[in-house]
Structure 1
Amino acid sequence: MTRDAPAHPRVVLVTGPPGAGKTTGSRILARHYGWAYLDADTMYQPMLSALIHAAGFPAHDRSPETLIRAGRNPGNDALEDVIIDNVSAGVSVIATNTFRSRLSTPGWLESFRERVAAHGGRVVVIWVIAAEPIIRERILARQSWRDAWKLANWDRWAKAALRPAPPGVDAVITNDGDLSAFEEALIDVCDTLLEVGSRRQRTVR
């Protein structure tokens, strides 16, 4: 189902830990609204892998220390700039990334909202979560080499990645594997936030 383009562009940031279902959720919303879809993994994973290699680390090493040393910020900056490019052209965007570090940075979300508002747009942030056993099962099932570090250091990774949503999130939605219920909850919440403008954080289970 494709909606008519809104009078002012919208940006929906779909985030959450790996394996929670943010990519699935983003695709659902992009298809529903007919808006541009931006996936951070598609955009800059090749660049990130090259940066990791250039820094002298194995390509599969996605530990926090390696990501910091390799310089992940340029990729995040690029994603934000592409979002703004779309908004400046009047195009609404569904974007997915693990935005935790950005959302946890004081002032980042306010600054990003201001950048979008400068072009007449507004931002909604959706946090997708799932139970730890479900996330582990999904990560194992996708058999990605990028998950090797996570699986080898699961307790450490899970402790850092599966924390509650950071401040600024507009809605928290649980994806327990029921795709129909997940789709319905996503669309219901986004319709409300995008059309009514509520900024109260909601939890949908």
Structure 2
Amino acid sequence: MRYGSTVPTVTRVIRDRIESGRYAHGSQLPSTRELADDFNVSGATITKAMQNLAADGLVVSKAKSSRIVHYPEGAAQTERGTTTVVVAIGGLAGTGKSEFGRILARLSGTAMVDKDTTTRAVVEASLEALGQLASDRESDTYLEVIRPAEYRALLMTLQENLECGISVVVSAPFTKELADRAWCDRLQALVTRLGGELHVVWVRCDPDTMRTYIQGRGAARDAYKLANWDAYLDGLDLDMRPEIEHTVIDNSAGAPPLEQQAAELLARIAR
């Protein structure tokens, strides 16, 4: 990366990384050689930049030339006095995941990250660039190229919120992911490593409600499902549940309102 070769410029960029939490309080900075390669400068430039940061109290030198970030103010802002919470909401198409996520976020005041909202425009443009219909969600191109990238982007967004000390509700089908115990373990490890607390939710509903949801949103990507409803329904595992501890939310006709179920979930999380 080329930010410039002057000591003030390098000092400024490293300071920005510390104050933004990319270099967290108490963590060890990359070595002089690694930073010199990163900025395309000499080791002497990095050494002088570190001296500037040490003079400002942002870096503490330890034995064997290691340097530790000292920015407790950032850690205090990140902690906010409470545990950072991640609620990962999964479920089949048309079960009401996004609605439940929005209700949960509105009640709790946390960030809301929905897969469709976050990635749809990029997904559609990418599919068209690859010669597919923007509405395609069935081809190998989508399933093997685009979909994995969607979920990587979603987890990167989740991670950035956690690094900033912000609780987050993440909504996506997660049908493949939550059925994979190894993936669930990796998600749990990521959230734990960043000081968060993970809660997984699975939203379900009866087939009639599911179809009503899908019809009501009028999305082009659902055309195949609706045109082949019986075959689509036969291909679903309506009894699927995540391979990790989770809460089931029922959005079937006759079930308690989603807002009531969201409030009950938040009360359990707060205990």
The answer, yes or no, to whether TM exceeds 0.5 is yes
1:67, 1:76 → 2: CA distance? 12
Alignment map for 1:13-32 (pairs within 5 Å): 13-32=88-107
1:12 equivalenced with 2:93 (yes/no): no
3-state SS, counterpart of residue 71 of structure 1:
helix
Find the partner of 1:47 among 100, 122, 129: 122
1:203 maps to what in 2? none
CA 23–173 in structure 1, closer or farther in 2 if over 3 Å, else same: same
1:190 equivalenced with 2:266 (yes/no): yes
- TM-score of the two chains, using structure 1 as the length reference: 0.84
Residue 94 of structure 1, CA deviation? 0.7
- In the TM superposition, what whole-angstrom CA distance separates every residue of 1:86-142 from its partner, at most 9, and x where no partner exists? 111110001101111111223111111111111210111111111001111221122
Residue 46 of structure 1, CA deviation? 1.4
1:135 equivalenced with 2:210 (yes/no): yes
2:83, 2:139 → 1: CA distance? 37
- The residue type paired with residue 95 of structure 2 is A
1:72 maps to what in 2? 147
1:152 equivalenced with 2:232 (yes/no): no
- The residue type paired with residue 119 of structure 2 is Y
2:256, 2:181 → 1: CA distance? 36
**Which of 1 and 2 has greater Rg?**
2
2:130, 2:158 → 1: CA distance? 28
1:92 maps to what in 2? 167
2:215, 2:237 → 1: CA distance? 16
1:112 equivalenced with 2:187 (yes/no): yes
- The residue type paired with residue 80 of structure 1 is L
Q: Give yes or no for contact 1:126–1:173 (8 Å, CA) kept in 2.
A: yes
- The residue type paired with residue 140 of structure 1 is Q
CA 18–88 in structure 1, closer or farther in 2 if over 3 Å, else same: same
- The residue type paired with residue 171 of structure 1 is T
2:141, 2:211 → 1: CA distance? 22
1:169, 1:48 → 2: CA distance? 31
- TM-score of the two chains, using structure 2 as the length reference: 0.65
Residue 6 of structure 1, CA deviation? 6.3
2:133 maps to what in 1? 58
- The residue type paired with residue 106 of structure 1 is R
1:143, 1:162 → 2: CA distance? 23
1:153, 1:79 → 2: CA distance? 29
Q: Give yes or no for contact 1:60–1:149 (8 Å, CA) kept in 2.
A: no
Give the ranges of 4+ consecutive aligned residues of structure 1 lying more than 6 Å apart after TM superposition. none
Gaps of 5+ in 1: 197-205
How many aligned positions are there?
Answer: 191
Find the partner of 2:198 among 123, 148, 155: 123
Q: Give yes or no for contact 2:123–2:134 (8 Å, CA) kept in 1.
A: no
Residue 177 of structure 1, CA deviation? 4.6
Q: Give yes or no for contact 1:132–1:162 (8 Å, CA) kept in 2.
A: no
Find the partner of 1:174 among 234, 250, 255: 250
- In the TM superposition, what whole-angstrom CA distance separates every residue of 1:159-180 from its partner, at most 9, and x where no partner exists? 3445222321511111125696
With 122-131 and 154-163 compared, the bigger mean Cα shift is at 154-163
- The residue type paired with residue 54 of structure 1 is A
1:37, 1:178 → 2: CA distance? 27
1:119, 1:10 → 2: CA distance? 10
Gaps of 5+ in 2: 1-79
Provide the alpha-carbon RMSD of the alignment: 2.0
